[in-house]
């Protein structure tokens, strides 16, 4: 089963609390999401393999470490996943970026695909799939299936707030995918919103409500 990593670093928890507050506006919400994405990126890449290279410092030759292995693709689930790109790109400046467009149908709460554009060599890359909210898990599971259909074999899911239902669904359907989240909240409500959650992430990022 994929591992659930709950990243409880004090800086992340502090920033998340401000994001949850209903009085926090879009500007601060966006900035905090970007900062948290950067901090999460540190954890998501923690086990990247290293290899030795020979270099010369101004004083002598040495054997030093450099990242080896697959290149990275960042794939946000539209819309809200976009808010996590910039923080990650600060850490991984040459990563390619794909986009998967999904929205939840308001009555069935099932995801509907409306866009998919991925780097042509995505099957050769280590993929970080971003979406701040893991609620029922339907969107994440469908996005992971789309990535796998494109040949991806190394996928990690980066979220901000998760519900137990969403975690269970991803772990059941995609046991090879690790989940990185800042919080595991109590439950989903009758509208499949995460409680206590932070509301609608897309609306809060883009100021659409
Ligand atoms: C939100 C969120 C996730 C999805 C999570 O997107 O950003 O993509 O819901 O819910 P799930 O786990 O139950 O599938 P939404 O459908 O509201 O679209 P938006 O980002 O365009 O607002
Ligand atoms: N999507 C959101 O943006 N928030 C939730 O709580 C659930 C789904």
Q: Closest Cα to atom 15, ligand 1: which residue?
A: 103
Mean pLDDT in residue range 32-54: 97
CA 204 – CA 209 distance, rounded (Å): 7
Phi, psi of 3 (to 5 degrees): -80, 145
Are the CB atoms for 70 and 85 separated by under 8 Å?
A: no
Q: Does the Cβ of 138 fall within 6 Å of ligand 1?
A: yes
Q: How far is the CA of 193 from the centre of ligand 2 (A)?
A: 5
Nearest CA to ligand 2 atom 2: 200
In this structure, the residues whose C-beta lies within 6 A of any atom of ligand 2 are: 133, 135, 193-194, 197, 200-202
For ligand 1, mutation pick of 37, 99, 103 (most atoms within 8 Å of CB):
103
> In what helix (H) or strand (E) does residue 143 lie, and over which residues does it extend?
helix 138-149
144-174 pLDDT per residue, tens: 999 999 999 999 999 999 999 999 999 999 9
The dihedral through the CA atoms of 141, 110, 119, 159 has a sign that is: negative
Q: Residues 38-56: what's their mean pLDDT?
A: 97
Count the helix, strand and coil residues of the chain and give each as a percent rounded to the nearest 5.
35, 30, 35
pLDDT at 69 over 90: no
Give the residue numbers annotated as catalytic, written as ranges.
Answer: 104, 108, 200, 203
Convert the pLDDT of each residue in 181-193 to its tens digit. 999 999 999 999 9
Helix (H) or strand (E) holding 87: helix 85-91
Q: What average pLDDT score do residues 83-89 get? A: 98
What mean pLDDT, rounded, does the chain reach? Answer: 97
* pTM passes above 0.95: yes
**CA dist., res. 103 & res. 192, Å (int):** 13
Task: Give the separation between CA 97 and CA 207, rounded to whole angstroms.
Answer: 24
142 lines ligand 1 (CB under 6 A): no
Q: Are 170 and 143 in contact (CB under 8 A)?
A: no
Partners of 206 in beta bridges: none
């Amino acid at each position: 089963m994929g591992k659930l990593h709950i990243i409880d670093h004090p800086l992340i928890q502090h920033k998340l609390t401000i994001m949850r507050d209903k009085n926090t506006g879009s500007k601060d919400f966006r900035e905090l999401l970007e900062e948290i994405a950067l901090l999460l990126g540190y954890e998501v890449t923690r086990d990247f393999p290293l290899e030795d290279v020979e270099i010369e410092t101004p004083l002598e030759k040495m054997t030093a470490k450099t990242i080896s292995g697959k290149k990275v693709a960042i794939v946000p689930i539209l819309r809200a996943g976009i808010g996590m790109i910039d923080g990650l790109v600060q850490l991984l400046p040459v990563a390619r970026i794909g986009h998967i467009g999904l929205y939840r149908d308001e009555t069935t709460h099932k995801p509907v695909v409306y866009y998919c554009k991925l780097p042509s060599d995505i099957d050769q890359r280590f993929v970080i799939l971003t979406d701040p909210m893991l609620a029922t898990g339907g969107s994440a599971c469908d996005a992971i299936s789309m990535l796998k259909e494109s040949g991806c074999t190394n996928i990690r899911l980066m979220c901000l707030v998760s519900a137990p239902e969403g975690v269970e669904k991803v772990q059941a359907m995609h046991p090879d995918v690790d989940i990185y989240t800042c919080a595991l909240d109590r439950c989903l409500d009758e509208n499949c919103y995460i409680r206590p959650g932070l509301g609608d992430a897309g609306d809060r990022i883009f100021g659409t409500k």
